Amino acid sequence: MSASASSPFDPIKIGIVSVSDRASGGIYVDKGLPALQAWLTRALKNPLQFEPRLIPDEQATISATLIELVDAGCALVLTTGGTGPALRDVTPEATLAVAHKEMPGFGEQMRRISLQFVPTAILSRQVAVIRNQTLIINLPGQPKAIAETLEGLRGGDGALVMAGIFTAVPYCIDLIGGPYLETDEAVCKAFRPKAAIRTFS
């Protein structure tokens, strides 16, 4: 994908998936999709096209949805929900089933961040994988935790004290042949080696 005439930044298609029996069944209003879209809209300067999906905790459905979004050209797919130890929590299994490569560092850092708030963060099972040229990441289920794990933790003075996982997302997508993601540094500063950084006029 090349930069458009109206923006110097590559357009990007992002799949956002909320996995919840109750929300998909209309028992309560889903909060995952709005939280994902709001954070990504703040964090990225690229023109964004979202592909939202609200689906139940069914492993086959989750896997099929991830494959569909990859095949539709999403460079990044973020899921929320279904990553705990409960019987119906099968998002990690569904994600690993479609993986070509695993990226364990993302899950490790998410748990490290969440452990600053609750000791039960060790029960979370988020994974990240690559399928073809798409990065797929499982995120926590709560909007507050979604933002914390993506953005990182800041001290009282606003300085970053623990990097969020999204810091590494743009360079990962570079390496697998995806579009160049440009972040708003006030929200999340992407890290790239100097040789990989593009400049925009």
Domain ranges of the chain: 12-196
User: In angstroms, rounded to a whole number, what is the distance separating the alpha carbons of residues 133 and 174?
Assistant: 10
Give the model confidence (pLDDT) of 116-146 as tens digits. 999 999 999 999 999 999 999 999 999 999 9
Arithmetic mean of pLDDT, 137-165: 94
User: In angstroms, rounded to a whole number, what is the distance separating the alpha carbons of residues 136 and 103?
Assistant: 9
pLDDT at 158: 86
SS3 19: strand
pLDDT at 1: 43
pLDDT at 6: 73
Measured in degrees and rounded to the nearest 5, phi and psi for residue 55 equal -135, 160
Using the predicted structure, report yes or no on whether residue 29 has a pLDDT greater than 90. yes
pLDDT at 7: 82
Length of the chain in terms of residues written:
201
Residue that wins the pLDDT comparison between 140 and 4:
140
Other beta carbons less than 10 A from residue 47's beta carbon: 15
Q: Enter the CATH code of domain 12-196.
A: 3.40.980.10
Are the C-beta atoms of 172 and 103 separated by less than 8 Å? yes
CA dihedral 112, 135, 62, 59 (to 10 degrees): -60
Arithmetic mean of pLDDT, 160-174: 97
Q: Which residue has the tokens 């963060």?
A: 121
